[in-house]
Chains A and B, each alone.
Chain A
Amino acid sequence: QNVAFGAVKADPSLPVEVTSDNLAVNQADGSAEFTGSVLIVQGVMRLAGDRVLVIYKTDADGKRAIERLEATGNVILVSGPDAAEAQRAEYTIDSGTIVMSGNVLLNQSAGTLASQRMVVNLTTGTASMSGRVKTILNPSSGTSENN
């Protein structure tokens, strides 16, 4: 089930801004975890969650960069007019894809879709849902969206 997501094509190289109440950086393995109403903002995309864990990757020349951000706990993703909720979301920055899992609810002007898993590709502005997709159409919107 492919659906358009987000009005504008997001650019993954925009700076990512993360705000939260607190952040713990573990000195032994260098992992970092944001807790307390965490909000990730990049361009028009906003991803909110209770906790966000930062996963690093080490490039060839040994320089560490953020590979992906794992948000857990009533995650809400908003991009342009569309919004999605889930329990977990993994945002891989370089590829600009967000994998949301755990009773995902995507509500758009056309209707709301519910499923177990959704992969949003910010660069192409598309989202593909899988796993028991359920569509609820708002008759008032007039545009009928069939599976």
Chain B
Amino acid sequence: MDQYSRMVSYLKVFLPLAALALLSTLFLISPGSDTEAVIPFADREIEERLRGQQVTAPFFSGSTAQGDEIWVTAEMASASADQPVIANALRAEIRMVAGGQITLTSDRGTVHPDQDLARFVGNVEITTTDGMVVETEVLKTQLSKVHAESPGAIRATGDLGDLTAGHMEISSETVGGPVHLLFTNSVKLVYAPQKLER
């Protein structure tokens, strides 16, 4: 056997051994990884989450037969067996086919999909297309068509001036017609004409 083939036979044995040694260092010398990563939840929060189903930042959107779009979002919504869905920091937007947009925000709200109803409770604010802001305590809106009603008194400010009324309803009289804000039960408006530039 000449010198070359002897060298090859040695290498045939030596190289795999070297590879094996290199490979073993990978596992023996490497720093141990800590497996118990700390989950960032307090125990109380976990129990609270377990008690009822909870959805963070829920998003509900639907459109009416005429094509008006309704978006409802909230910070957190929780549902339990017997009660309807309770959500807080509720915000709804209605984009109307006939043009214009109404936004509603409130502190809390409940959504009753079975009765096709969402109730906004706690300083409800309604901003309409022409920039009028209506404040009330409770507002009930239908989910399947553009119809909302505030049983209690309302205060509104806008280009029209400051308005108070005992009852307000948002609806479109004719199907697909323009949406109207109907204020009833002793409407009172105070309009201060801007100071005329002399």
A residues lining the B interface (CB < 8 Å):
12-13, 15-30, 32, 34, 54, 56, 63-66, 93-94
- Measured between beta carbons, the chain A residues less than 8 angstroms from B186 are 19, 21
Residues of A within 8 A of B193 (CB): 12-13, 15-16, 65-66, 93-94
CA–CA, A17 and B161, complex, Å? 9
B150 CB to nearest chain A CB (Å):
14
Interface SS of chain A: helix, strand, loop or mixed?
strand
Restricting to B175-196, which residues have a CB under 8 Å from any CB of A?
Answer: 178-196
B86 at the interface (CB under 8 A from A): no
Residues of A with C-beta under 8 A to B179: 26-28
A and B contact pairs by CB, cutoff 8 A, 30 listed: A12-B193, A15-B190, A15-B191, A15-B193, A16-B191, A16-B192, A17-B191, A19-B187, A19-B188, A21-B184, A22-B184, A22-B185, A23-B163, A23-B184, A24-B181, A24-B182, A25-B128, A25-B183, A27-B99, A27-B130, A27-B178, A27-B181, A28-B98, A28-B99, A28-B100, A28-B178, A30-B130, A64-B159, A65-B194, A94-B193
* Contact yes or no, A13 B181, CB < 8 A: no
Are B159 and A25 in contact, CB atoms less than 8 angstroms apart? Answer: no
Count residues of B near A (Cβ-Cβ below 8 Å): 33
- From A12, A28, A66, B160 is in contact (CB under 8 Å) with A66
Docked complex Cα distance between A17 and B181 (Å): 19
Q: In whole angstroms, how far apart are the Cα atoms of A13 and B198 in the complex?
A: 12
- B87 beta carbon closer than 8 Å to chain A: no
Task: Name the residue on A nearest B134 (C-beta).
Answer: A25
CB of B96 within 8 A of chain A?
Answer: yes
B191 lies within 8 A of A34 (CB): no
Report the Cα distance A15→B100, complex, angstroms: 29
- Inter-chain CA distance A13–B184, complex, in Å, is 27
Interface string of B79-118 (1 = CB under 8 A from A): 0000000000000000010111010000000000000000
Q: Chain B contacts of A66 at CB under 8 A?
A: 159-161, 191, 193
Q: Is B165 an interface residue, CB under 8 A from the partner?
A: yes
**Least CB distance, A21 to chain B, in whole angstroms:** 7
Report yes or no: B99 in contact with A18, Cβ–Cβ below 8 A.
no
A63-B102 in contact (CB<8A): no
Task: Establish whether residues B182 and A30, one from each chain, have CB atoms under 8 Å apart when the complex forms.
Answer: no
- Known contacts A28-B99, A54-B160, A64-B159; A23/B196 CB under 8 A: no
CA distance A51 to B192 in the complex (A): 21
Candidates A27, A34, A64, A94; contact of B196 at CB < 8 Å: A94
B187 touches A22 (CB 8 A): yes
